[in-house]
Each structure stands twice: as structure tokens, then as C-alpha cells.
């Protein structure tokens, strides 16, 4: 989501006559786009901003901190990081060009952290890669008890389907072949009478769209109708990122996730029975307040049972203002040990799943160069694949997987 927001900011500044640079320190305006989903990300952004004091003072320059940290910690940044000129929350980017011009003229600081119904309609950035993102929703109203997103990004709102279609047409014109529709819970998409399954159908018929994906699906709202649309439309990839968070029903309830492990298993069974070649990935939080050893083991068992194609493992991080922040925390050593154990279990499963790819042929859309003379691309299932051949970004080849290095499948072009 932040990558996409950075593209929006880039486009808004380009419209004001600015150019981006690959050497940030040579810039006139330095923008740090921040995340606060976990404490670690927030602390890194603060430390990084503090480290730019000398850069800021060495010339007539503007330093901006934008995004979720700017939204939640504007006061702290104002007081502690006096070299920051511009502080913008996620809904305040439209004015960024004017704000920069004003600061240049007045040398005074600007803070804008108003949340609104903003969806950045009509702002189509110039893509610079084969794969790109299109935001279909912003904000979130689910209030999972651990999560800061609803507080820093405001309530859920959907972008007009016609604007989504226009942006996709624009991206396709610039050579984008793999488009990921973005939202904190895409299954809640709703514009006029169009729901998410209809939106998928609507964008999949846009001429030239080679691949469509979407991120993220909340298991409580994921529908069988969506599975059906994916099954029927060849350019919608059969990759499902369905964050489970925990394998314990008591913890899921404390997390306010509104589904049970049984419901989740039912979704996985349905997806796999309808689309056997599908890949399913997930997010897991370990060490949630009051999680017992037995409940943690339930999560490990669920990982082993479902055998995800990939999983992002996070240690629980206290986010100020959330409901879980007032629940009794587990001790640091227990949280760390559980994270390490869950990563080990996840790694074993992912290696096993990746090794099962050996000998099979996958359609790979190449995106970039890889080490040496090789190339990197993605399968429809969102798995990165490396080949030794040099293949131009945007080309599609059938690749036979021959070995696995770490968790990465390596292959040879099978249709050369």
C-alpha cells in the first residue's frame, strides 16, 4: 500500500514540475513514507529521519515525513525532529506540491493530518515496471484488536470502479502486465452496486490485461463467488493471500477476527477443490497477549496441516491506542522463542512445497535481471523464479523447475 502511495505522491509532484532522482541525497525534497503496523517499522522511520538532520541543514532543502507515522506521531515529530518541514498523513497528499512551494517561500513548517474520504481518484502514475499496484480501497473499519491501520488510515472506502478501470487501461498502455488490486480487505469492496467479485470480472475483460491479482482477503468476507470468477477468467491469478493470524479460536476471538479455524479450513478446502493449482499464502502473529503454549502449538499444527505456499511470520507488537494494547503482554523471551519456532516450521513447509515444483513447468512473467546474467520472474502463484538465461522484462516463458536454492525455485526455459 505504501509503495502505491509513493507512486501517487510521485505523480502529484511530477504534475508540479518535480522529477524523481535515484540519488536521494542530491534531492531538493526528501520524502520519507512511513509504516506503523509494527513498532520496529515506526522506530526505524524515526531513526532514519533523525539521521537526516545534517543533510537537511547542509542546503536549502525540504524534509517531509508522510504516511502512518506522520499521522499517529505528528506531535512527537514536531517536538523531537525540528528539522522536518512537512508532516502529512495518508489522506493529505493531494496538496503536496502546493505545500512544498509554500515551504520554499515561507520557510515555515506545514502539518496536515486530516483524515477524509480521499481515494486519489484520477491520479494515474507513470509505471516503471512490468508489475504494478492499483488501489481499490483505502482505510479499514475492521478494528482487529492488535492493528493500528483503522486509526492511522481512517475508515474503509472504495474507489469508483470506473476510475479503477481507467487506471488499469493507463497502466496497460505503459506496458504493465501484472496488476495487483490493493485494499486492506478487498472482499469488502463496494461501489454503487458493484461488489468485489463483480469488480474482478469487470477489470479482467479490459483489453491487454495479462494478469490480475489482489491483496489482501479477510477470511471472514471471502466468498465462493470470488473463487468462481477466478476459475472462469484465465487472466485472474489463482493466488490467495488469506491471513490466518492464529490457529486458536480463543485467540482469533480476542483478535476480533470474526472467523474460526474451522471456517478458515473450509475456505482452504473449497479453494483447493475448485482450483487445484492454486497457491495460498498467509500472515501469522505469534505471542499475542495471553496466548498459551497450547494455543501456540495449535497455530504450528495449523501451519503443518494447511501447508501454505508461503507465510509471513510476525511477533506481536504492541500498538498504542489499540484494544490489545491494554491486554496483559507475554514476556519478551516467550514472544521471541515462539516467533523463532514458527519461522522454523514455516521454512520447512515452504521448502517442501517449493521442492514439489521441481520437474513441473510454470508460466513465468519476467520482471527484472537476477544475479549474474540471469533473470527473475513470477509464476501465476506469485512465486519468484530464477533462470540463468537473459530474458527481457515483460516476456512470458514456460519454465521447467530444476532445483531449489533456499526457498527459491531455479529453472530453465522450456519453450525456447
* Options 107-115, 136-144, 268-276, 328-336: segment touching ligand SF4 (CB under 6 A): 136-144
Position 316 contacts ligand SAH (CB under 6 A): yes
Selected range binding ligand SAH among 81-89, 273-281, 314-322, 335-343, rule: CB under 6 A: 314-322
Regarding 144 and contact with ligand SF4 (CB under 6 A), the answer is: yes
Give the x-and-dash track for 278-307 against ligand SF4 (CB under 6 A): ------------------------------
Name the H helices within 27-95. 39-50, 53-57, 68-72, 74-80
Residue 330 grid coordinates: 507475554
Report DSSP state, residue 329: P
Q: What are 53's three cell numbers?
A: 538532520
41 binds ligand SAH (CB under 6 A): no
What are 124's three cell numbers? 494515474
Residue from 185, 201, 204, 302 binding ligand SF4 (CB under 6 A): 185
The DSSP secondary-structure symbol of 185 reads T
Pairing, β 190-191 against β 375-378: unpaired
| Cell numbers that stand for 353 in this block | 512445497
Q: Whole-number minimum distance, CB 68 to ligand SAH, in Å?
A: 11
Q: What's the alpha-carbon Rg for the chain, to the nearest Å?
A: 22
The least distance separating ligand SF4 from the CB of residue 243, rounded to whole angstroms, comes to: 7
Write the DSSP assignment of 231-278 as a string of letters.
HH-TTB--EEE---B-S-HHHHHHTT----HHHHHHHHHHHHHH-TT-
CB of 156 to ligand SF4, least distance (A): 8
Cell output for 76: 512527537
- Distance, first Cα to last Cα, the chain: 36
Q: Decide: residue 26, CB within 10 A, 0-12 exposed, 13-18 middle, 19+ buried.
A: exposed
Which is closer to ligand SAH, CB of 18 or CB of 314?
Answer: 314
Binding mask 237-276 for ligand SAH (x = CB under 6 A): ------x-x-------------------------------
Q: Which residues contact 335 (CB under 8 A, 6 or more apart)?
A: 286, 287, 315, 316
Binding mask 167-206 for ligand SAH (x = CB under 6 A): -----------------xx---------------------
The least distance separating ligand SAH from the CB of residue 216, rounded to whole angstroms, comes to 4
Enumerate binding residues for ligand SF4 (CB under 6 A).
Answer: 140, 142-144, 147, 149-150, 184-185, 218
Enumerate binding residues for ligand SAH (CB under 6 A).
Answer: 37-38, 146-147, 184-185, 216, 218, 243, 245, 283, 285, 314, 316-317, 319
Amino acid at each position: 500500500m505504501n509503495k502505491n502511495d509513493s507512486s501517487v505522491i510521485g505523480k502529484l509532484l511530477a504534475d508540479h514540475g518535480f522529477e524523481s532522482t535515484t540519488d536521494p541525497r542530491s534531492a531538493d525534497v526528501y520524502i520519507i513514507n512511513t509504516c506503523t503496523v509494527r513498532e520496529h517499522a515506526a522506530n526505524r522511520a524515526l531513526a532514519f529521519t533523525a539521521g537526516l538532520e545534517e543533510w537537511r541543514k547542509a542546503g536549502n532543502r525540504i524534509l517531509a515525513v508522510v504516511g502512518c507515522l506522520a499521522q499517529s506521531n505528528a506531535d512527537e515529530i514536531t517536538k523531537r525532529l525540528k528539522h522536518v518541514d512537512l508532516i502529512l498523513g495518508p489522506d493529505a497528499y493531494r496538496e503536496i506540491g502546493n505545500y512544498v512551494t509554500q515551504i520554499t517561500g515561507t520557510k515555515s513548517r506545514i502539518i496536515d493530518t486530516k483524515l477524509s474520504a480521499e481515494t486519489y481518484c484520477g491520479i494515474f502514475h507513470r509505471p516503471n515496471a512490468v508489475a504494478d499496484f492499483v488501489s481499490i480501497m483505502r482505510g479499514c473499519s475492521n478494528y482487529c484488536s492488535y492493528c493500528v491501520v483503522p486509526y492511522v488510515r481512517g475508515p474503509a472506502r472504495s474507489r469508483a470502479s470506473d476510475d479503477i478501470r481507467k487506471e488499469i487501461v493507463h497502466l496497460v498502455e505503459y506496458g504493465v502486465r501484472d496488476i495487483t488490486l490493493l485494499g486492506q480487505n478487498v472482499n469488502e469492496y463496494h461501489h454503487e452496486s458493484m461488489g468485489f467479485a463483480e469488480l474482478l470480472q469487470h477489470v479482467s475483460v479490459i483489453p491487454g490485461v495479462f494478469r490480475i491479482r489482489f491483496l489482501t482477503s479477510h477470511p471472514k468476507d471471502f466468498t465462493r463467488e470470488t473463487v468462481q470468477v477466478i476459475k472462469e477468467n484465465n487472466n485472474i491469478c489463482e493466488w490467495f493471500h488469506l491471513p490466518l493470524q492464529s490457529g486458536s479460536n480463543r485467540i482469533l476471538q480476542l483478535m476480533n477476527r470474526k472467523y474460526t479455524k474451522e471456517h478458515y479450513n473450509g475456505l482452504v478446502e473449497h479453494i483447493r477443490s475448485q482450483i487445484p493449482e492454486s497457491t495460498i499464502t498467509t500472515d501469522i502473529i505469534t505471542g499475542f497477549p495471553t496466548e498459551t503454549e497450547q494455543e501456540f502449538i495449535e497455530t504450528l499444527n495449523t501451519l503443518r496441516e494447511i501447508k501454505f505456499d508461503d507465510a509471513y511470520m510476525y511477533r506481536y507488537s504492541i500498538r498504542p491506542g489499540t484494544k490489545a494494547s491494554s491486554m496483559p503482554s507475554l514476556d519478551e523471551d516467550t514472544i521471541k522463542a515462539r516467533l523463532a519456532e514458527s519461522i522454523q516450521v514455516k521454512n520447512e513447509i515452504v521448502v517442501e512445497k517449493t521442492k514439489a515444483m521441481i520437474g513441473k513447468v510454470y508460466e513465468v512473467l519476467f520482471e527484472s535481471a537476477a544475479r549474474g546474467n540471469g533473470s527473475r520472474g513470477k509464476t501465476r502463484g506469485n512465486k519468484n523464479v530464477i533462470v540463468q538465461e537473459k530474458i527481457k522484462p515483460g516476456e512470458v516463458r514456460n519454465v521447467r523447475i530444476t532445483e531449489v536454492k533456499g526457498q527459491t525455485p531455479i529453472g530453465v526455459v522450456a519453450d525456447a
